[in-house]
Copies of this chain bind each other. A is one copy, B any other.
Amino acid sequence: MAKAVDAAKLPDKLRVRPGARIVLREPAARATHGWRKADAERALERNRHELGALQYRMYAGGHHALLVVLQAMDTAGKDSTIRHVMTAFNPQGCTVHAFKAPNDLERQYDYLWRAHRCVPPRGSIAVFNRSHYEDVLVVRVSQLAPRAVWQRRYRHINEFERLLADCDTRVVKIFLHVSKAEQKRRLEERLEDPKKHWKWDAADLDKRRQWRDYMQAYQAVLTRCSTAHAPWYAVPADRKWFRNFAVSQILLNELRALAPKLPKVELDPDSYRIF
């Protein structure tokens, strides 16, 4: 087995270079960059501790915000990633927003309206479990809008994220890349295990039938919307342990780069006596 990529350098390997033309290949979904399960699990634990500490400072500092966008095909593990990684964060200061098909109210507005309402305030983290990217994914694949309509959305989205970035919100976008073969295994598991029946949705099979179209739509997203101000990361997700570790490492590097600091306070402890 190849030597493991240094943990701190892993995010750089997974980040999509702005302008790079991305092709999603099945084998890439199984990559582990030389990591073994036991090491990755230990690293995840360490990362979770540091993530918690960084969030604490970010919350106290109240300057930066972090928006994490999670996108993936079904069974890739969006919910599972949130459970295993985002639990490192104090929920006071971290909110998860799940974006489903827009409701009656939301459909009265431009498609970014509901996303903008949910961006994190200063000091906080917001996780989008699915996001405004559905408006160039399911909308494109299922032809819910004409081509001319969704084509211009890449620009809207890039400019929306530029606004956020310019206003102290770091935008980090993570695509969990699962292979079609691995999805088959996971869907079969859901059918076999009664405790997983609640997750079963026959509509997932429709999307599985459109696999190639979805890969094309994701390729367009990664190619057109990974920017310096709001990068996309493509995370191999066939191995859950690698996926969790990789996501934790991405968030860790991103939060470290924000370098959140406790606010400077002019306080002379000697001037107070607690009665």
List chain A positions with a Cβ less than 8 A from chain B: 105, 107-113, 116-117, 119, 121-123, 149, 152, 155-156, 159-160, 162-164, 166-167, 169
Q: How many copies of this chain are found per oligomer? A: 2
Nearest 3 pairs of A and B residues by beta carbon? A110-B167, A108-B121, A159-B159
CB of A67 to closest CB in B, whole Å = 11
Contact B152 A156 (CB under 8 A): no
Which one of B105, B122, B123, B156 lies within 8 Å of A162 (CB-CB)?
A: B156
Which one of B108, B149, B164 lies within 8 Å of A110 (CB-CB)?
A: B164
Which one of B109, B113, B166 lies within 8 Å of A156 (CB-CB)?
A: B166
Contact A119 B109 (CB under 8 A): yes
Contact B119 A110 (CB under 8 A): yes
Contact A163 B110 (CB under 8 A): yes
Determine the distance from Cα of A159 to Cα of B155 in the docked complex, in whole angstroms: 9
**Sample of 16 further A-B pairs with CB below 8 A, known A116-B117, A159-B162:** A107-B122, A109-B121, A110-B163, A110-B167, A110-B169, A111-B167, A112-B116, A112-B163, A113-B116, A117-B117, A152-B166, A156-B162, A156-B163, A156-B166, A159-B163, A160-B160
Q: Which residue of chain B has the shortest Cβ distance to A149 in the bound complex?
A: B166
Q: Which residue of chain B has the shortest Cβ distance to A121 in the bound complex?
A: B108
**Residues of the B chain whose Cβ atoms lie less than 8 Å from the Cβ of A112:** 116, 163
CB of A154 to closest CB in B, whole Å = 12
**Residues of the B chain whose Cβ atoms lie less than 8 Å from the Cβ of A160:** 159-160, 163
What are 6 A-B pairs at a CB distance below 8 A?
A109-B167, A110-B164, A112-B116, A155-B162, A159-B160, A160-B163
**Residues of the B chain whose Cβ atoms lie less than 8 Å from the Cβ of A163:** 110, 112, 156, 159-160
